[in-house]
Amino acid sequence: MTNRHVLWGLMLLAGAIAQSAWGQWPTSSERDTRPALLLVGHGGPATDFPKLGEYFRLHGKNSEEAHKIEEEMARWPRTEENDAYWAGFMQVVRAVEATQAFASVQIAFNEMCAPTVEEGLEELARRNPKTIVVTSIMITPGGVHSEKDIPLSISNFREKHPEIEVVYAWPYDPRLISSFLIDHVKKFARAEE
């Protein structure tokens, strides 16, 4: 699997998200009205975080110490070397940004990385968009982050910012996911012939 194939597929997915947000691609005269995008990833630990063992020992415990370590880890600087998930996620973000389908693209994570969904929404609010589209890179249904955590963050944000329309572009249509996966696998199957 090459990065080019993955990025091409993700750019197609970004186009589907953009199209579902307003029904068609914006023209140059509509650029000022493009929505902002909050792209949410799961998040993962940085391998060089010095308290990683302590974090996993305390993970899930609702203690002040656990929250302090989790916050410290979330703010730990990320690089390609210390967080392969973050690096891959940023490739997706750059591919989405390259489409220029959104007025701005902001990242957020559900856990272990910063910014949080709440922080990402607040950052976009400072840019004064008319509409924010929120979507998750976690594309299959059934996950607690996509089904409960992100909607709760959106609900809290809407209470503070009723002037900003927030669209949660989720769940993904299983037919679109299936089509993307089939097209992706076919490229590899052809390469084997």
CA 23 to chain centre: 21
Integer Cα distance of 148 and 174 in angstroms: 19
Residues 6+ apart with CB under 8 A from 187: 5
The pLDDT tens digits of the residues spanning 80-102 come to: 999 999 999 999 999 999 999 99
Q: Which domains does the chain show, CATH number per domain?
A: 3-44+83-192 (3.40.50.1400)
Beta bridge partners, 116, equal 109
- Residue 46 pLDDT > 80: yes
> What pLDDT is attached to residue 30?
44
In this prediction, residue 13 has a pLDDT band, given cuts at 50, 70 and 90, of low
Q: Report whether pLDDT(1) > 50.
A: no
Residue with tokens 């669209």: 167
Phi first, then psi: what are they for 58, rounded to 5°?
Answer: -95, -10
Neighbouring CB atoms inside 10 A of 67's CB total 12
Which amino acid appears at position 141 of this protein? P
The whole-angstrom separation of Cα 134 and Cα 120 is: 10
Q: What pLDDT, on a 0 to 100 scale, did the predictor assign at position 59?
A: 84
Q: What is the mean pLDDT of the chain?
A: 87
Mean pLDDT, rounded, for 67-90:
97
Residue 103: the pLDDT is 96
DSSP E strands, 50-182: 105-109, 131-136, 165-168
pLDDT digits (tens, 9 = 90+) for 142-182: 899 999 999 999 999 999 999 999 999 999 999 999 999 99
pLDDT of residue 7: 42
51: closest CA among 30, 74, 80? 74
| Residues above pLDDT 90, as percent of the chain | 76
Q: What are the CB-based long-range contacts (under 8 Å, 24+) for 85-94?
A: 85/41, 85/42, 85/43, 85/44, 86/41, 86/43, 86/44, 86/46, 86/113, 89/41, 89/137, 91/3, 91/6, 91/7, 91/10, 92/7, 92/10, 92/39, 92/137, 93/39
pLDDT of 24 higher than 80: no
pLDDT higher than threshold 60 for residue 50: yes
